[in-house]
């Protein structure tokens, strides 16, 4: 895993030393992404420089160093990622005459680009990657992001040139001083992240998952999708799997065996995150089944009831006989991460599980350099609680009289939160989900809504961003995918939107930043694109059956782990945020909420303080909305204090 950066200077007067100095400053800003080496390549005549920071995983020798020049001298690459089937690509007939200098995947894909072309190479690549590829003959630069958006890539362009990097802070290091985009602030308040292709800054764009952004010699920028999950979803629903459940189970098992086995390739120590849930347990079980030696697993737990999954992870680890380590996290451990978040996330980011994700990454990095994760299972196999809600209530709500739904919502909103949560604690363990009143409030909010509003409310951190931004509208969300004609497809629409937005912009970027901050590479084998394509062919009954989510994935896991070890309500990977904001985080929060500084003119201070007062009193639980506001303000003070809100 690595960090990449670079620039094209449009002035025509940049010297080689100046280009190298600017590119190196950009890569130094993200040095933690690659502590094992660095390199800069430049061509002053073309006005281009590429830089890379290396975390050596495959071929630890200098033969794997970057930026790398192809054997014919035409192509130069700066690359972040891993391609797991590099050996297969190297065996292509067109590469038969290539004399490889080393064993890195970088060299293989670079020579494939040179001999087989960009499209054929990308079609064959199985991996996660962000690539900057310079064509010295055509004087064009291609910025390429992997199919699912696992690795990040941003760029900015103006009449002065173009800049790109793995992270925004590298653009800042290049001297860019972009303005905050108020619409991006509103979008951030909605989702807890800024949705692609937007960024928090005007003029800075995120390369989309599965996209090639090309800049030609005339500085014209073009965009092209080489793979899109919308196309995959449409094709899967149009041509569904028609075999038996047993055949589907066997095919999924074989795909996962191959995906996990391929992602275990490494020249450095490798392990896995293990929460004890369905996804991570499946990945670890298949690692053990691969029989490549002892498997190291890592988990963390909280000493707070309702948030600790470590005992479940330990039980799975014991059954699979892994070399397992658990870190029990105290409130002090978690709170010590909070001041680091604005540095770690150089764009506002407000998924509070960023804290435990960083802590487990830090623990894991003490022992290994690469870790496999279970990310992607929820989106592909309908694992989130909102899918059950949408599957069961979406159609019901649409068929029920609006007056009845409004009446039920009013009844829920009138119920005292403290009383409901107190009664819930008297219920048998496992019968009710954690924080039941929060979920009831969310249900009350969505009951009177149409389907798009229903989904947006389910995924919103702040339900009404406009009220918090002095009337500034968010970026259009573009929830306009229309599935093929047939039965009701609301469940599939939710899965598609999550896979295209929430997964790459929240889940995967959370893991990327939290792990790269400690120079740990994390690989998600469930997001092998072949698994994604197969999952979209599955009938709904193989995703949710009898009220049980991830039905087919559970069947695969049954082959390796007893159902009793993983069967429990979904917990997520959260922290006791509501309690901490009223307790140990209160002073920190109130400093950030100081009316004299709050928002830099971008937030409605009165509306924010109303949420804060209601939360402190216990009248409402606004933990997620407040965390989003606090993450924005912490980021703003670190990265843009003194930059005025644009008019």
Question: Using one digit for the tens of pLDDT, what is the confidence trace for 346-378?
Answer: 999 999 999 999 999 999 999 999 999 999 999
For position 386, what pLDDT does the model report?
87
The predicted pLDDT at position 305 comes to: 66
- What's the token pair of residue 602? 């971008």
Radius of gyration in angstroms for the set of CA atoms belonging to the chain, rounded to a whole number: 24
Lowest pLDDT segment from 182-191, 334-343, 495-504: 334-343
587 phi and psi angles, rounded to 5 deg: -65, -45
Please report the DSSP string for 337-367 in residue order. Answer: TGGGHHHH-SS----TTHHHHHHHHHHHHTT
CA distance 193 to 510: 10
Q: What is the DSSP letter of 180?
A: B
CA nearest neighbour of 338 among 153, 31, 585: 585
Convert the pLDDT of each residue in 65-96 to its tens digit: 999 999 999 999 999 999 999 999 999 999 99
The tokens describing 379, both together, are 């989106």
Give the CATH number of domain 232-238+247-380+503-565; options: 3.40.50.620, 3.40.50.300, 3.50.50.60, 3.40.1010.10.
3.40.50.620
- Please classify residue 107 by burial: count the beta carbons closer than 10 Å to its beta carbon, then call 0-12 exposed, 13-18 middle and 19+ buried: buried
Terminal alpha carbon distance of the chain: 40
Query: How far is it, in rounded angstroms, from Cα 197 to Cα 189?
Result: 16
* DSSP assigned state of 480: -
* Contact predicate 270/370, CB 8 Å: yes
- Whole-angstrom Cα distance, residue 400 to residue 405? 7
Per-residue pLDDT tens for 556-596?
Answer: 999 999 999 998 766 666 678 898 999 999 999 999 999 99
Output DSSP code: residue 429. T
481: pLDDT confidence band, cut at 50, 70 and 90? confident
Where is pLDDT greater, at 283 or 457? 283
If DSSP codes are grouped into helix, strand and coil, which group holds residue 512? helix
What's residue 411's pLDDT? 83
Could you please state the CATH topology (level 3) that the domain comprising 2-227 is classified under: 3.60.20
Identify the pLDDT of residue 644: 35
Q: Tens digits of per-residue pLDDT, 232-284?
A: 999 999 999 999 999 999 999 999 999 999 999 999 999 999 999 999 999 99
Concatenating the DSSP letter of every residue in 262-286 gives HHT--SS-EEEE--SSHHHHHHHHH
pLDDT at residue number 571: 60
Among residues 148, 175, 144, 145, the alpha carbon closest in space to that of 160 is found at: 175
Say what percent of the chain tops pLDDT 90: 76
Give the per-residue pLDDT at 485: 73
Distance, in Å, from the CA atom of 149 to the CA atom of 327, rounded to the nearest integer, reads 30
State how far the Cα of 291 lies from the Cα of 560, in Å rounded to an integer: 13
The 3-state DSSP class for residue 640 equals: coil
Give the integer Cα–Cα distance in Å for 68 and 39. 9
- The answer to whether the CB of 616 falls within 8 A of the CB of 573 is no
Domain spans of the chain, in order of start? 2-227, 232-238+247-380+503-565, 576-647
Name the token pair of 426. Answer: 């008297």
Give 425's pLDDT tier (boundaries 50, 70, 90): low
Q: Where are the alpha helices (DSSP H) in 147-277?
A: 168-173, 182-191, 229-238, 245-263
List residues bridging with 162 in a β-sheet.
Answer: 8, 157
The segment with the largest mean pLDDT, out of 182-186, 328-332, 413-417, is 182-186
* 3-class secondary structure, 12: coil
Predicted pLDDT of residue 438:
66
Q: Could you tell me how many residues make up the chain? A: 647
Q: Burial level of 518, CB count in 10 A (0-12/13-18/19+)?
A: middle
Quick: pLDDT tens for 488-502. Answer: 788 999 999 999 999
What distance lies between CA 147 and its chain's CA centroid? 13
Phi, psi of 301 (to 5 degrees): -140, 155
- Check if the beta carbon of residue 449 is closer than 8 Å to that of residue 394: no
């Amino acid at each position: 895993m690595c960090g990449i950066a670079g620039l094209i200077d449009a002035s025509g007067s940049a010297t080689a030393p100046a280009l190298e100095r600017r590119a190196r400053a950009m890569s130094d800003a993200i040095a933690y992404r690659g502590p094992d080496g660095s390199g800069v390549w430049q061509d002053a005549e073309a006005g281009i420089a590429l830089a890379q920071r290396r975390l050596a995983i495959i071929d630890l020798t200098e033969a794997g160093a970057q930026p790398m020049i192809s054997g014919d001298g035409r192509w130069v690459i700066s690359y972040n990622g891993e391609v797991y089937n590099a050996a297969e690509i190297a065996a292509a007939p067109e590469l038969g005459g290539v004399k490889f200098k080393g064993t890195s995947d970088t060299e293989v894909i670079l020579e494939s680009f040179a001999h087989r072309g960009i499209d054929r190479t990308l079609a064959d690549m199985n991996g996660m990657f962000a690539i900057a590829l310079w064509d010295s003959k055509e004087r064009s630069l291609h910025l390429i992001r992997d199919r699912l958006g696992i690795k990040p890539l941003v760029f900015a362009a103006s009449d002065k040139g173009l800049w790109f990097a793995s992270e925004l802070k590298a653009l800042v290091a290049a001297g860019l001083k972009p303005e905050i985009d108020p619409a991006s602030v509103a979008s951030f308040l909605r989702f807890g992240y800024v949705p692609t292709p937007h960024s928090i800054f005007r003029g800075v764009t995120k390369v989309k998952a599965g996209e090639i952004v090309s800049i030609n010699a005339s500085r014209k920028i073009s965009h092209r999708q080489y793979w899109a999950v919308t196309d995959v979803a449409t094709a899967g629903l149009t041509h569904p799997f028609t075999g038996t459940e047993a055949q589907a189970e066997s095919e999924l098992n074989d795909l996962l065996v191959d995906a996990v086995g391929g992602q275990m390739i490494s020249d450095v120590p490798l392990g896995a995150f293990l929460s004890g849930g369905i996804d991570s347990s499946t990945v670890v079980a298949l690692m053990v089944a691969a029989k490549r030696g002892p498997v190291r697993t890592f988990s963390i737990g909280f000493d707070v009831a309702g948030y600790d999954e470590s005992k479940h992870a330990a039980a799975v680890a014991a059954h699979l006989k892994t070399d397992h380590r658990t870190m029990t996290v105290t409130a002090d451990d978690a709170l010590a991460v909070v001041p680091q978040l604005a540095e770690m996330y150089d764009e506002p980011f407000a998924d509070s599980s960023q804290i435990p994700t960083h802590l487990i990454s830090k623990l894991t990095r003490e022992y290994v350099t690469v870790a496999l994760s279970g990310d992607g299972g929820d989106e592909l196999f309908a694992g989130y609680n909102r899918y059950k809600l949408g599957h069961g209530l979406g159609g019901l709500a649409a068929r029920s009289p609006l007056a009845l739904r409004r009446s039920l919502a009013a009844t829920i909103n009138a119920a005292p939160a403290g009383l409901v949560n107190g009664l819930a604690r008297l219920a048998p363990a496992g019968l009710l989900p954690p924080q039941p009143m929060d979920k009831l409030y969310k249900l009350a909010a969505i009951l009177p809504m149409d389907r798009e509003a229903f989904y947006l409310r389910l995924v919103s951190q702040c339900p009404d961003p406009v009220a918090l931004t002095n009337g500034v509208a968010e970026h259009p969300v573009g929830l306009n995918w229309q599935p093929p004609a047939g039965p009701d497809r609301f469940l599939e629409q939710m899965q598609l939107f999550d896979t295209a937005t929430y997964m790459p912009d929240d889940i995967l970027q959370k893991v990327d930043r939290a792990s790269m901050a400690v120079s740990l590479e994390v690989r998600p084998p469930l997001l092998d694109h072949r698994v994604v394509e197969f999952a979209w062919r599955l009938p709904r009954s193989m995703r949710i059956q009898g009220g049980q989510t991830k039905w087919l994935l559970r069947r695969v896991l049954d082959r390796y782990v007893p159902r009793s070890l993983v069967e429990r309500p979904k917990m997520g990977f959260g922290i006791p945020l509501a309690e901490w904001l009223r307790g140990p985080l209160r002073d920190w929060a109130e400093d950030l909420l100081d009316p004299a500084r709050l928002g830099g003119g971008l937030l409605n201070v009165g509306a924010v303080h109303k949420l804060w007062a209601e939360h402190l009193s216990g009248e409402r639980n606004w933990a997620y909305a407040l965390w989003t506001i606090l993450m924005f303000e912490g980021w703003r003070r670190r990265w843009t204090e003194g930059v005025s809100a644009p008019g």
